[in-house]
Chains A and B, each alone.
Chain A
Amino acid sequence: QKEVEQNSGPLSVPEGAIASLNCTYSDRGSQSFFWYRQYSGKSPELIMFIYSNGDKEDGRFTAQLNKASQYVSLLIRDSQPSDSATYLCAVILRGAGNMLTFGGGTRLMVKP
């Protein structure tokens, strides 16, 4: 089992819809969770971080964390074609010496 798991996709949604990206992690003691966006051929850029259970909203993006279920998600409202990218979930795993571990990413395609 991978320490941070994501469905590789592609996840295809129509423009204007809500895109839901999911991530599960293995270390129950993990405390810090990040979502990065990576356009093809480019470097990752941080979208959001979340530390506490519940929802955190920033513009069209909402991160949701459920530590009991070891699950973190990213919702993108009013999806735009420019949101088409790979979304990487990253977790600081306490069991791995507090090292930031990335999932494999989910490729999102927003169709006009």
Chain B
Amino acid sequence: EAGVVQSPRYKIIEKKQPVAFWCNPISGHNTLYWYLQNLGQGPELLIRYENEEAVDDSQLPKDRFSAERLKGVDSTLKIQPAELGDSAVYLCASSFGGAYNEQFFGPGTRLTVL
């Protein structure tokens, strides 16, 4: 069974540029999560989707971050414009059933903003 797929794995951009991350969850997993992880810290939830509906998005900085999950499968997380403080690893996870049932994490996208 294929795991959670994320791309790109690494991204280096200059500040004020836009950037997008893509996630393909495990087949059949209805819940999808985007997390941000800074070095030496635990993941912080940005947004959780139940199918195509966004729930738990209170931590998403909506002035510059946006997310979508069309057709309840793949998801895209966008930052526009990026700031220096956005440098982090962006993790996507998915689970089946209720919220926070066993989550399977993707490899993450390491973003560096110069």
Which A residues fall within an 8 A CB radius of B? 4, 8, 32, 34, 42-46, 49, 88, 90, 92, 97-105
Contacts and interface: CB of A to CB of B under 8 A. Distances in A.
B45 to A, nearest CB: 6
Given A43-B105, A44-B105, A99-B56, A32 B100 contact: yes
Contact of A97 (B56, B91, B105): B56
Query: Which DSSP category, helix, strand, loop or mixed, fits chain B's interface?
Result: loop
A104 B42 contact: yes
Given A97-B56, A105-B42, A43 B91 contact: yes
Contacts of A8: 40
Interface of B: 40-45, 56, 58-59, 91, 99-100, 102-103, 105-108
Majority SS of interface residues in chain A? strand
Nearest to A32: B100
A46 B104 CA distance: 8
